[in-house]
Homo-oligomer: A and B are copies of this chain.
Amino acid sequence: MSDPANRGHSTVDEITSVDPATGEVVETVTTATTTEQVAVLAEAAAAAAAPFEELGRAFRARLLRAVADELEAHRAEIVALGRRETALPEARLNGELTRTCFQARLFADVIDDGGYLEATIDHAGDTPMGPGPDLRRMLVPIGPVAVFGASNFPLAFSAPGGDTVSALAAGCPVVIKAHSSHPALAQLTFRAMTTAAQRVGAPEGLLGIVFGTAAGAELIAHPAIKGVGFTGSAGGGAALLDIINRRPEPIPFYGEMAGLNPIVVTEGAAKARGAAIAEGLVGSVLGSGGQLCTKPGLVFVPRGAAGDALVAEAARLISAAPAATLLNRRISESYRETSAALASRAEVIAEGAAPGAGFAVAPRLLEVDAAKLSADELDECFGPAAVLARYDAAELDTAITALPASLTGAVHAEPDEVQRTAALSALLKEKSGRLLYNGFPTGVLVSWAQHHGGPWPSTNTLHTSVGATAIRRWLRPVTWQDAPEAVLPAELRERHASIPRRVDGRLVLPA
């Protein structure tokens, strides 16, 4: 979790904001949160848990909508600061803010729907094991959650992002670890959230924020914290998991980390629309400087003329691409190192414009023999690079089977290749959480059916970090047995009928 993005530019205690375009410190945002302050915030979150839960679902929906409104009210300020602190384009930051607000409002809808509670009622009655009691089950919040924002989505996966709003939706207080790559933006968006929380009358301590690597480590070791959301590198996730594994009380860690996001282009697709695939691919690789966890890092392209044409077109587009200014010094240095290591194993077939000032780097396209893929080519290269793996039909399935798991896997195939598509899907399904067809994995729609997760090392969970079901990560079941009606949560009382409930084994929708 060391993130020396601003090393050499600050004292130990200062949290500084760096301009990626120049690599220089622009301002000192705050000081690192002390051990004592971390404890105060964690305990304040714990104290807020019960009052927040008691305020109920309608209150939480109101809170989330107020958060979205407040973020939108500061759109110009947020986008301008984001530009300076991340070097991401204005259109991207505007879109990300729209997505962030949409996401908060979607969770308000999820709360209103109430299906996420999994409310279940078994009335007392005879069973093959004798008389059964009245049992009523639903999900309740797990308690305070720590959220580690990502560098590459300074809004949608950071302070005001999906982990935060899904945890608030569940009824959990949140303490955010601000990412060192955009501390000023984290502070600004955190203030917008606390303003919204105060306006709707949320309990004190519901939201907290800490700055600094040590503070983040102390936060997840604190006994008041009951779950952790993280988006970042596999190394960062593993370091957090180590700290969590040393706690006397294990808590869930939801890490959304890394991936190659392989794409398979069939012979048919390469023939039918190789140039279009090349164009879509390069757009997906270069978007946001290639700094997306769903960036396609490995593309299987058939040997032969159609594949050659696809490769040539992709190479032409990469060669014409400008340098990309990456988010911070660490990412920029890591890109240079990883792409240099790749270049020693695979052929660099195209390179974009040479890097200029700050954290800028040159996009790269590499080519390798699919039959010779080794762990070296299978390391994620975070940034604007991709590897094209050329295959003969007989080699492909073995190469896919050897891949590490990713968030996504994609197939580009023609309609008359249905059986081949199905076979490739079966292989890729073991390696990913989202299967795409004739599309590119970047751009993860926030919706009810979305899944953003996959087998290790892409994530370590059976849950998603994007989409409506992300709320499930912050909930645990409780069953009430023969409870007096007055003690039951409203949603489990006999006559409550505004949410879907399973009653005596049968799912019943609200009237």
**Interface residues, chain A, CB within 8 Å of chain B?**
50, 95, 98-99, 102, 109, 113, 115, 118, 120-122, 127-130, 132-133, 135-137, 140, 142, 241, 245, 249-252, 415, 418, 421-422, 425-426, 429, 432-439, 445-451, 453, 455-457, 460, 462-464, 467-469, 472-473, 475-484, 486-487, 500, 502, 504-505, 507, 509
Contacts and interface: CB of A to CB of B under 8 A. Distances in A.
A50 B451 CA distance: 21
Contact of A481 (B113, B127, B439, B479): B439
28 contacts: A99-B129, A109-B505, A113-B505, A115-B502, A120-B448, A120-B468, A122-B449, A127-B445, A133-B439, A137-B449, A245-B245, A249-B457, A252-B462, A418-B484, A432-B478, A433-B478, A434-B479, A434-B481, A435-B478, A436-B482, A438-B482, A448-B505, A449-B479, A449-B502, A462-B475, A462-B476, A463-B477, A507-B507
Contact of A482 (B249, B437, B462): B437
Contacts of A482: 436-439
Given A128-B102, A249-B456, A252-B462, A118 B469 contact: yes
Contacts of A486: 418, 421-422
Contacts of A122: 445, 447-450
Contacts of A249: 455-457
A429 B483 CA distance: 13
Mostly helix, strand, loop or mixed at chain A's interface? Answer: mixed
B477 A437 contact: no
Contacts of A469: 118, 137, 477
B483 A437 contact: yes
A422 B487 contact: yes
Contacts of A457: 249
Contacts of A449: 120-122, 135-137, 479, 502
A137 B102 contact: no
Contacts of A504: 448
A437 B504 CA distance: 20
B481 A250 contact: no
A65 to B, nearest CB: 14
A481 B509 CA distance: 28
Contact of A437 (B121, B127, B251, B487): B487
List the 10 closest A-B pairs by CB distance, nearest first: A451-B479, A135-B449, A120-B449, A137-B449, A122-B449, A436-B481, A451-B477, A462-B476, A122-B447, A249-B456
Contacts of A128: 98-99, 102
A169 to B, nearest CB: 15
